[in-house]
Amino acid sequence: MAESVPSMADSSAAASVQIVYTKRPQDEEPEAYHIRTLASILGNEDVAKEALLYSYNTVASGFSAKLTPQQAEQISKLLGVLQVVPNMKVQLHTGPGIGRLH
Q: Are 78 and 37 in contact (CB under 8 A)?
A: yes
**Angle in degrees, CA 41, 86, 74, rounded to 5:** 25
> pLDDT, tens digit, for every residue of 30-52?
999 999 999 999 999 999 999 99
Position 96 scores a pLDDT of 66
- Laid out side by side, the sheet with 52-56 consists of 52-56, 62-67, 16-22, 81-86
Kindly list the distances between the CA atom of residue 18 and the CA atoms of 27, 49, 53, 72, in Å, as whole numbers in the listed order.
Answer: 25, 15, 10, 7
Q: Which residue has the higher pLDDT, 23 or 11?
A: 23
pLDDT at 99 (0 to 100): 59
The conformation of residue 7, written as its DSSP 8-state character, comes to P
Please report which confidence band the pLDDT of residue 88 belongs to, taking 50, 70 and 90 as the band edges: confident
- Residues 60 and 42: their CA atoms lie apart, in Å, by 23
Q: At 20, which helix (H) or strand (E)?
A: strand 16-22
pLDDT digits (tens, 9 = 90+) for 45-79: 999 999 999 999 998 999 999 999 999 999 999 99
Confidence of residue 91 (pLDDT cuts 50, 70, 90): confident
